[in-house]
Structures are given as C-alpha cells and as structure tokens.
Amino acid sequence: MSTALVTGATAGIGRAFARRLAAEGYDLVLVARDSERLASLAEYLGDRYGTVAERLPADLTRDEELAEVERRLGDATRPIDLLVNNAGFGTSGAFWDTDPETLRQQVDLNVTAVLRLTRAVVPVMRDFGRGDVINLSSVAGFFAMSGSTYSATKAYVTTFSEGLSAALADTGVRVMALCPGFTRTEFHQRAQLEMSSLPKAFWLDADTLVHEALRDLRRGRTVSIPGAQYKAVVALGKLIPNRLQRFVVSHAAPGRT
C-alpha cells in the first residue's frame, strides 16, 4: 500500500489530489489548517474509498507546525511514497500597499514550506530508491507579473524542482513542477481577485488538472503544464522578447494590479 502526503488538502487542487489518490488506492496524510474540514475529508475518503486517512493539522507558515510535518515525512518506519506540496496563496493589490507580514507568510508557504518538506522527504525516498514529489507552481511562474510576489515564488518552485529532478536522476526519486493556469478553486476568492473578465476557455477544472498531472508524472515529465491553452501560452511567452512579454502580461492578466 502506498501513502501520499498532500498539503492544502481541504480545498481546490489539493482536495482533488486527495480524492484521486484515494480512488487509486493510496493511503493519505492530509495537511491544512482547518481541523474540521480535515476531519470531514478524512471521513469522506474512508467511507467512499476505504482510505486510511491521517490528519495532520498545521499552519505551514509556523515553524513548529511545519517541523511536525517534516518529522512525519522523515519517519522511515512510515514512509511517504508521494509528497504533493500544494498549499499556497496569492494576493491582490500593489506590492507597496500589501501588509509586509502577508508577504512574508506568502514566501513562507509558497517557497520555504516547499523547500523544507522536500528536504525532509528526499533522504528517505533516496534510501528506499523510490518516491515522487509534486510541487505546485503556476503558469504565473513563467512570467514577470506586475505588483505581486506571487509569480516570483512560483518561478522559484519551478526552477528548484527542475534542478532537484536533475540531481536525483537515476535514484528512483522523481520531482515534478506542476504549473496550472487559472483553476476554479477557492484561491481567487481568498486572494480577493476579481476574475469575472476571464474568458471561460481559460478556466481549468481541478479534477481534470490532477488527472493530467499524474499522467505527466508517470511519463517522467519534470514540468507539467495542464491544458492545451496554457501549453500554448507558455510556448508563446518563450518566443517573444522580455520587454514585450512584460507589457502584454501587465495589461492582460486579470485581478492583479
């Protein structure tokens, strides 16, 4: 029996991963802050799929709580086969108007937690000669979006995952950056981003995205960009000069100022 640990499992993409992995027969360790939502998800997965679902409530921006999750990942007597570093958040408004504490928490969650949880699990996976890590990045990580640290955190996640994947070649441990575009979840509401102008064709569905991501992981991809529309956006972005790219992004991306 394989076990997956999913951070941010109570909503959106993380919840879709938890459901899909449970359906595939994984046992789960579910991490998020909201204990009630964790309990109801664990109960649902147990009833629906017979999943053994461990709950690990933690705010990953708090050092001691992050350390608890690190300890769980480093416990070789209960090895984790798949780590999904999914928890993350965005913000709206200008950088200079955003509470510095919010920005610190964003870097703590989107970057530091990904780094530390990966660092905790990789040695165990290397010892066993197998294991997978999926780090949630974003299409935003390929573009210098104005006014927000969000794309910078995601650029880190993609580059970190690609480099680590290369370093782990031939060890049996795979690392993949998952780079979705706009996906219908609680993300935009939490960030207070106004999304009504986004054309329907650009919305991704979390379940479909997770299906594509797991398929890409199993094909040995290092970077997964779900959806033909976003594969095209990223490919096009690489072809145009940086100055033009910054102009287009700052005028086209909804929500962020």
Ligand X SMILES: NC(=O)c1ccc[n+]([C@@H]2O[C@H](COP(=O)([O-])OP(=O)(O)OC[C@H]3O[C@@H](n4cnc5c(N)ncnc54)[C@H](OP(=O)(O)O)[C@@H]3O)[C@@H](O)[C@H]2O)c1
Chain contacts with ligand X (rule: CB under 6 A):
7-14, 32-34, 37, 58-61, 86-89, 109, 136, 138, 180, 182-183, 185-187, 190
Which of 104/172 has CB closer to ligand X?
A: 104
Question: How far apart are CB 69 and ligand X at their closest, in Å?
Answer: 9
Report the sign of the C-alpha dihedral through residues 19, 21, 23, 29, in that order. Answer: negative
| Beta-bridge partners for 134 | 84, 176
Question: How far apart are CB 247 and ligand X at their closest, in Å?
Answer: 22
- The active-site residue, picked from 44, 49, 150, 156, is 150
Let me know if 44 is a catalytic residue: no
User: In terms of Cα–Cα distance, which of 68, 62, 113, 53 is closest to 87?
Assistant: 113
The helix-helix angle for 150-167 and 113-128 (nearest 10°) equals 20
Question: How far apart are CB 16 and ligand X at their closest, in Å?
Answer: 8
DSSP 3-state assignment of 7? strand
Residues in CB range of 105: below 8 A, 6 or more apart? 61
Extract the tokens encoding 239. Answer: 């072809």
Active site residues: 150
